[in-house]
Structure 1
């Protein structure tokens, strides 16, 4: 489900109409490869930023009508032109990935949501543009779903992110629940930690519920894709609650048995 790495993108599954599978695959390749530049391997921060700047330069060529220099961006230029996709959405993604290289903490929830606005929300907006459903209400609902998925990924991966010296839990929340970064470093679960995670889970759940009505505006295959995406995110939140936020020892993930649950719940939406 779309709650790991860059899988908060609805990769071209069988639920996506055949005519849109290749465009989605191309956009996914762009997002995944850029995310890997920022996050994978042993490159230095300067090397990562330089590689992301090269991606920005390719977007500049597309925007100015010049031919890109790499195969990925040749393909992307074709998709952007064919579907009139806003190039700013791709710039926003690159900006978020570059931010991940240099920024390791977030002061408060609004600052974290601003990161989500660039790291996750462009994905949903690009999909809606592909389907020609860009009404403001639908874009806002998509933003809620995508930001919720990003937050779920953060809460699920607290321990993983700590290994990269990243803490996405807002700094203002930690003292409120009498938690310090030393607790994260030690993988120390406590009742206070469980309360903090319940608080963050509630935030993600509220966002997801705000976005969920989007499924009724998107008939057919896309509607079902989004239904399963929403239910997958909510299911991970359930798993987080079941382990009382103990992501240090029992990182929640979905298994084969969960798919039946998701299908039933998606049908009832």
Structure 2
């Protein structure tokens, strides 16, 4: 142990998340404290600023030998060795942790997300595996426990990124992600808050997905005390993620508050009184609530099962869209979308995510065509490029069919109106045109232009930086033409509804009316002086709420 660590030893109560809390039984708590003390000693060696890599490795090797032998000369090792003899847990998991500490001694950078996750498998997941083995929990708890431990590790990496960089010269934010902020040096410049924010938020998006995957952990735990601790830990993970989205860990210490801890404790206590259930549906419903989507109003008019299925579809779309719009490198985004393709392939076998399990349920109940989910991912891959341009009207139609038509094709089956397939595709294209017109400036800031270059070329406007294109008066003329096409699309949808089941399609009608109002406001404002993204007024929202309360 370094001199600094000896002077300022870190204790279990100094951690963000519960370590050997008094919720655990005394027997289990003693074993956890032994595990913690050993891990703390190894961590202090790996982090010692006054030791070279070779000396760190030698000390970690000696520590492992002491653990295996139960050497009384190293009390932390002897204590954990004894705990393993009593409970059959601790030795294997601690040796896995030592692999991570050896890695910390020699490796200070991680190239991509996959490398970081591989590190977390040995630096964090063994802790959860130890607790499961200690409490004799079933194998079904391992996957959600791994997800939670990985999420906690990444949250700690983000929380400590400024201190790790300055004190240890160690960075756990993937190098390729920091390149989005210009360079490693630029990422840590105090004034680069906006660029750093996009990278941090992209990492938090991935971390929140891990927390979602861990939400079912309490349902798999048989020990009530461990279940309570897992519920409290999940709540604290959510709280720290929210705080990291609001704060900048390079400029300040971001941590959970006493209020966060108190609320987490109360949630955990509730978990000892009743077994939790239904976490998958709760995850997708929460994603809908957090989004503030205008589609949420339409979902409320559905029966419980149909609404639950729509939550699953929306959550899938939201997850894919967050990947495409996030601050990760393009190659990483495509890899994340490929993970979703693998999850879709597992739908009718063993999906691994809450969204996947809810999609599988909806697919069985409403005979959803899974190829539409793949089509949506095709569209999101188009958005993953660092620079997005749409070449022609054909490509615009293809893009709209993928990102919007697919959602419509899934939704009408959940609504119970499969005969409205053509209506759904047409309306999807129309709504996507309104999205494009509404988000012109926001997209341009990301170097995205969805107005077809062929149309701009007809007016003599050639491809250029997005900000240059959207500022040209000729660009506004093309927007006017697209707005008229969207208006015609709404008229065609009105005509189609005369032949369809309006009651079943009420959620789609509410969405259509919301977007029609947006188009009205866009056309009234004009295209020359856009002044940022248009948002509906309180009167507009009241009108839509009134419509939602009326029969179709």
Normalising by structure 2, report the TM-score.
0.44
CA contact (8 A) 2:144 2:217 kept: yes
- Does the alignment pair 1:198 with 2:201? yes
* Other-structure match for 2:251: 249
* Other-structure match for 1:153: 156
Q: Deviations over 1:48-70 (max 9, x none)?
A: 111101012224435xxxx6653
TM-superposed deviation, 1:156: 1.1
TM-superposed deviation, 1:167: 1.3
TM-superposed deviation, 1:259: 2.6
Distance 1:29 1:23, change over 3 A: same
Question: Could you say what the CA RMSD is over the residues aligned between the two structures, in angstroms?
Answer: 2.3
- Does the alignment pair 1:72 with 2:80? no
Normalising by structure 1, report the TM-score.
0.87
SS at structure 2 position matched to 1:186: coil
* Other-structure match for 1:121: 125
* Other-structure match for 1:97: 101
Tell me the number of residue pairs that the alignment of Structure 1 and Structure 2 aligns: 258
Distance 1:195 1:174, change over 3 A: same
The structure whose RCO (Cα within 8 Å, separation 6+) is larger is 1
Distance 1:182 1:152, change over 3 A: same
CA contact (8 A) 1:159 1:184 kept: no
* Other-structure match for 1:262: 264
Distance 1:105 1:5, change over 3 A: farther
Give ranges in structure 2 of 5+ residues lacking alignment.
1-11, 277-552
Residue from 49, 56, 67 that aligns with 1:48: 56
Which residues of 2 match residues 1-269 of structure 1 at below 5 A?
A: 7=15, 10-40=18-48, 42-61=50-69, 69-85=73-89, 87-135=91-139, 137-163=140-166, 164-175=168-179, 177-218=180-221, 219-243=223-247, 246-263=248-265, 267=270
Distance 1:159 1:86, change over 3 A: closer
Distance 1:31 1:113, change over 3 A: same
Q: Deviations over 1:213-260 (max 9, x none)?
A: 1112225211111111111111011011123xx212233112222234
Distance 1:184 1:5, change over 3 A: farther
* Runs (4+) off by over 6 Å: none
Whole-angstrom CA distance in 2 between matches of 1:10 and 1:82: 23
CA contact (8 A) 1:6 1:35 kept: no
Whole-angstrom CA distance in 2 between matches of 1:170 and 1:204: 14
Whole-angstrom CA distance in 1 between matches of 2:16 and 2:263: 20
TM-superposed deviation, 1:185: 3.9
CA contact (8 A) 2:100 2:119 kept: yes
Whole-angstrom CA distance in 2 between matches of 1:9 and 1:231: 10
Distance 1:247 1:74, change over 3 A: closer
SS at structure 1 position matched to 2:181: coil
Q: Deviations over 1:2-31 (max 9, x none)?
A: xx9994774222100112111111111111
Give ranges in structure 1 of 5+ residues lacking alignment.
none
Whole-angstrom CA distance in 1 between matches of 2:196 and 2:74: 47
Whole-angstrom CA distance in 2 between matches of 1:6 and 1:114: 26
Q: Deviations over 1:52-92 (max 9, x none)?
A: 01012224435xxxx66533222222111111126332211
Whole-angstrom CA distance in 1 between matches of 2:235 and 2:156: 14
Whole-angstrom CA distance in 1 between matches of 2:141 and 2:60: 30
